Amino acid sequence: MDNVWEAAFADNALIWGLEPALSAFSTARWFAERSVANVLIPGIGYGRNAKPFLEREMSVTGIEISETAIALARSRLGLTFPIHHGSVTDMPFDDRRYDGIFCYGLIYLLDAPGREKLLRDCARQLAPGGAMAFTVISKDAPMYGQGTKLGEDWYEILPGMRMHFYDESSARREFERYGPVDLIPADEPVPGGGTFPFLVARCCPDGSSRND
């Protein structure tokens, strides 16, 4: 998996464009309402999703496995905040506690034990009263059920590219272990035009996530 994503970045460079995901904007607004001052973004890629948080004067720290992506974040987007080079499966990379954690897309690329570990590790790095948001792919996406089935809602849709798909029930089951959950639908633009259906799972281990 690591080599697949490194090659993807090398071949496609800024394939997702420079504009942040819609769920990054909505999460930044939600974090601002909660007075979040610092944000951890596991799987930050080349950093496009940092912009909404930086614009609200939140400090950002990233985690990214691809050296190519980190180089693009520095050279093409001019980002200077800390980005830990490594896999999220090796979290934590520092001993900080963050007010907010935003994770776009990454978690659905992991198998069940990997997803559980990522959620657990993120929760452990939250400051008291902190909040987490995870953008996950919906079962309504056109590639759901395509390729080789590896487990429940878990498919290898292309060689080396495995994805876990969510509906409301499975998202609640997975994320409610970390506090009350709000699920926000999001149709996110994808390369080549069009959108795919996602869900944004918002949870607060120390209390209610309902603060829209």
Domain assignment present for residue 210? The answer is no
- In this prediction, residue 10 carries a pLDDT of 44
Domain assignment present for residue 211? The answer is no
pTM: 0.90
What tens digit of pLDDT does each residue of 113-144 get?
999 999 999 999 999 999 999 999 999 999 99
- Rounded CA gap, 128 and 130, in Å? 5
How many domains does the chain fold into?
Answer: 1
Share of the chain above pLDDT 90, in %: 83
Domain assignment present for residue 160? The answer is yes
Q: Give the domain extent around 38.
A: 2-203
Helix or strand (DSSP H, E) at 25: helix 22-33
- Rounded CA gap, 65 and 43, in Å? 7
The token duo for 71 is 């180089």
Q: What is the CATH number of the domain that holds 180?
A: 3.40.50.150
| Pairing status of strand 59-64 against strand 83-85 | parallel
Domain assignment present for residue 103? The answer is yes
Q: What's the rounded mean pLDDT across residues 55-74?
A: 96
Domain assignment present for residue 208? The answer is no
Q: What are phi and psi of 137, to 5 degrees?
A: -80, 140
Closest CA to 190 of 116, 105, 113: 105
Domain assignment present for residue 34? The answer is yes
What tens digit of pLDDT does each residue of 20-35 get?
999 999 999 999 999 9
CA atoms 34, 187, 24, 115: torsion sign = positive
Contact 58, 100 (CB under 8 A): yes
